[in-house]
Structure 1
Amino acid sequence: MHQLIASPFLGEYMVLKPGEPRGFKIPRSAYIGLGKAAAFPPWLVEAARKAWGMDLHGQPTAESLLIRPESTYAFGKATYELNLGCNYDCEHCYLGLKTFEGLEWPERERLLETIRDAGTLWLQLTGGEPMVDRLFAAVHTKAYELGMMIEILTNGSRLANTKILDLLTTYRPSKMSLSVYGATAETYDGLTRRPGSFRKFMRGLTAAHEAGLQMNLSLIITDRNAHEVDAMRELAERFGLRYREYAQMSPTIHGGGESLPSQSPQYLRKRQPFRGCDAGHTSFHVDPFGKASICKIGRNPNIDLTKEGAAGLLRLGGISDNLLLRQGGCTGCTLQDTCGTCMPLVQLYREAKAPLATYCQHKEPRKEVAQ
């Protein structure tokens, strides 16, 4: 199995090591040269030694270097949602009704090849909870073999499982982001509505940390665990892990508002002004049935990758431009330049019949202009 990957990425070229969060850029001439080299050139031997402490001197490239071909498509990142099922039942979850439906393996294998053909170098595996998916190991292994750098979003509950840990230490992801729902069993289990979930999380976190897997923590702050925010921060610091805090609750992907009451008002923060994003242009989202959309929020319109292949993604840019336009009640708003909510998310809030203050953080009165 390859130790290094040389790959195009959004008009540039990179060398990366699976299991590491960063790589380094190289000129196109060096990328072309690697395809002709029988052994690692001195410049790469030295660069790999400095970056990762590797000794590649005298090693043949055929055994250790995967060179990904250039793609005619302009995508560099993708998210693959393996399923909508989970072993938790958090009331704040944006998925709503959780199901374990998805494609069978032959279709998933072709789907992963399509994602690779689109130029995707960085692939995020998510769910639901991806590690409870019956084909998680096969998906992870295939994505690794195809030369994609893998990030996993997980609740961490299965990381102490021997088979899962063996898989992840053999085919190391570039990063894992573990969600944290509390700092005590009482709070954590109460939020997940699964007795014993805190114990499983702590076992998983400890096992992954001892195995040297790349991790960070996502502190999910709701009205049920807000009193333990400091303790959750201390947990991250105890393991020496970086963390980010997430307190904005969103409607479900079906436009339901049942997740919104879990918001902790004291941690509601003003979003940064929305300046656009690369969704649909250089990145895309794929649901459990192979439907590609601009992101996990803007799921419609979508493209069936199982039928159209990577060529269908050429329509995503236009879909994105249309979805991100201010519409409806926002059309004439004079404060759009300082708005912090993207339009697909606004639409979900509207479907959920959420109060305007939930997603529009401007103070009244809001002056609209004629169109």
Structure 2
Amino acid sequence: MRELVATPFGDRRLVLRRGSPKAVQLPHAKFEELRTLSTVPSGVPGWLAAAVAAQWRMDVSGRALDDVLLLREPGPYEFSRATWEINLGCDYDCEMCYLGEKRFEGLDMAGKRTLLTVMRDAGVIWLQITGGEPLIDPDFPESYRLANELGMQLEVLSNGSQLRRDRVLDVLRAYPPTRLTLSVYGATADTYDAVTRRRGGFDRFREGLDKSLAVGLNLDLSLIIVRTNAHEADAMRAWARDLGVRYREYANISPTVQGGAETLPSQSPEYLTDREPFTGCPAGATFFHADPFGRASICKVGREPNIDLTAEGVPGLARLGGIAESLMLRTGGCSGCKLSATCRVCRPMARVFQAAKAPLKNYCQHGTR
């Protein structure tokens, strides 16, 4: 496995190491030198060996360049990041899940290969694999391995229930993700299982968490705080600190992506926080989202219109910028709003709240003025 990837990133040229969030920035001339060297049998140049040793304490001196480095070509657009819902099925049934109906369906493995290749050709460097629960997909190990081989840096969002299984843990250990983010739903079995509505979920999560730490995976915890587990918020924080793992907290629950309000009663009022004013995002410009069928949209909330990447390929992404602009227009009661400069959510998210008939205070400054 080639551990290093040299890639364009906008106007910059980077060398990345698989599984590491760090990078080495190269002058354009050095990147072109690597491009030339990669066309013929060559050794790792001394300047690259020195830079890699300084950044990662990794010795590549004296090795063949083709054994160490994958050189990527730029995509035709500006897309460098993407998320991919490998499926929407889940082994949990959390009442606050924004996906609503969680059906296990999507592309077969041949379709997944096509989609990942299109992403690579589009210039995607950082890919977040999510779901549903991505690790229950039977094609996850092969898909994850292929994405690595195509030169993408991977993050996985998971509930952690499957990390106890060797078929999953082995591929993550062989190809370490830059980050493995695990959701935490409680600090005790009774509470965790009540939130997930799955008996034994806590024990499966804890076993997977311990195994992931034992093999040195780069973990990040998302503490999901809702009514059912709010009394254990301090215990969840203490657990993360005792493990020495970074954590973030999420208490502001959104409606389902279909505009369903059934998730909102799960919110714990005392833990809700004011959302920061929305000042723009890269959705549809340098970032896109792909659903289980390979349909690309600007993000996981603004799912329509979308583009079938397995049918249209990379050229289809040329339309995403226009789609993003149309979805961000203030409509549905928001046009002409005098508080628009302090909107707490983007227009696609506001439409989801509006479809759910959620209280204004959940997403709009008018709810507090």
- Listed as ranges, the gaps of 5+ residues in structure 2 are none
Amino acid at match of 1:311: P
Identity %: 52
SS at match of 2:353: helix
Matches of 1:42 and 1:346, distance apart in 2? 53
Matches of 2:65 and 2:365, distance apart in 1? 55
SS at match of 1:57: coil
User: How far apart are residue 47 of structure 1 and its match?
Assistant: 1.6
Match of 2:2 in 1: 2
SS at match of 2:220: strand
CA contact (8 A) 2:359 2:367 kept: no
Is residue 2:31 matched to residue 1:31?
yes
CA contact (8 A) 2:17 2:23 kept: yes
Q: Deviations over 1:205-256 (max 9, x none)?
A: 1100110011110111111111111111111111111111111101111111
Match of 1:359 in 2: 363
User: How far apart are residue 10 of structure 1 and its match?
Assistant: 2.5
Match of 2:334 in 1: 330
Is residue 2:30 matched to residue 1:52?
no
Amino acid at match of 1:21: P
SS at match of 1:292: strand
Matches of 1:358 and 1:273, distance apart in 2? 13
User: How far apart are residue 22 of structure 1 and its match?
Assistant: 2.0
User: How far apart are residue 160 of structure 1 and its match?
Assistant: 1.6
User: How far apart are residue 358 of structure 1 and its match?
Assistant: 1.9
Matches of 2:104 and 2:298, distance apart in 1? 22
Match of 1:242 in 2: 246
Mapping 1:192-271, distance limit 5 Å: 192-271=196-275
SS at match of 2:2: coil
Mapping 1:33-112, distance limit 5 Å: 33-37=33-37, 38-112=42-116
User: How far apart are residue 363 of structure 1 and its match?
Assistant: 4.6
Match of 2:18 in 1: 18
SS at match of 2:221: strand
Match of 1:369 in 2: none
Matches of 1:264 and 1:361, distance apart in 2? 20
Match of 2:126 in 1: 122
User: How far apart are residue 101 of structure 1 and its match?
Assistant: 0.3
Matches of 1:340 and 1:59, distance apart in 2? 52
Q: Deviations over 1:9-55 (max 9, x none)?
A: 12311111101122122122111111223122222212211221101
**Alignment RMSD, CA only?**
1.1
User: How far apart are residue 340 of structure 1 and its match?
Assistant: 1.2
Matches of 2:350 and 2:217, distance apart in 1? 37
- Listed as ranges, the gaps of 5+ residues in structure 1 are 366-371
CA contact (8 A) 2:288 2:297 kept: yes
Matches of 1:88 and 1:251, distance apart in 2? 18
Match of 2:135 in 1: 131
Q: Which runs of 4+ in 1 moved over 2 A?
A: 361-365
Matches of 2:224 and 2:148, distance apart in 1? 29
Amino acid at match of 1:252: T
Matches of 1:163 and 1:106, distance apart in 2? 20
Amino acid at match of 1:124: Q
Q: Deviations over 1:292-314 (max 9, x none)?
A: 00000100110111111111001
CA contact (8 A) 1:91 1:262 kept: yes
Match of 2:170 in 1: 166
Amino acid at match of 1:264: S
Matches of 1:141 and 1:354, distance apart in 2? 41
Larger mean CA deviation between 49-58 and 85-94 belongs to 49-58
Amino acid at match of 1:28: H
CA contact (8 A) 2:360 2:366 kept: no
SS at match of 1:172: coil
SS at match of 1:313: helix
Is residue 2:149 matched to residue 1:145?
yes
User: How far apart are residue 74 of structure 1 and its match?
Assistant: 1.2
Q: Deviations over 1:335-356 (max 9, x none)?
A: 1111111110010111112122
User: How far apart are residue 364 of structure 1 and its match?
Assistant: 5.2
Matches of 1:100 and 1:10, distance apart in 2? 36
Match of 1:344 in 2: 348
CA contact (8 A) 1:10 1:282 kept: no
Mapping 1:287-306, distance limit 5 Å: 287-306=291-310
Matches of 1:239 and 1:44, distance apart in 2? 36
CA contact (8 A) 1:270 1:361 kept: no
CA contact (8 A) 2:285 2:320 kept: yes
Q: Deviations over 1:99-126 (max 9, x none)?
A: 1101111111011000111100000000
Scaled by the length of structure 2, the TM-score of the pair is 0.97
Amino acid at match of 2:273: R
Q: Deviations over 1:40-78 (max 9, x none)?
A: 222221221122110111111011110011221210000
CA contact (8 A) 2:129 2:156 kept: yes
Matches of 2:209 and 2:53, distance apart in 1? 29
Match of 1:279 in 2: 283
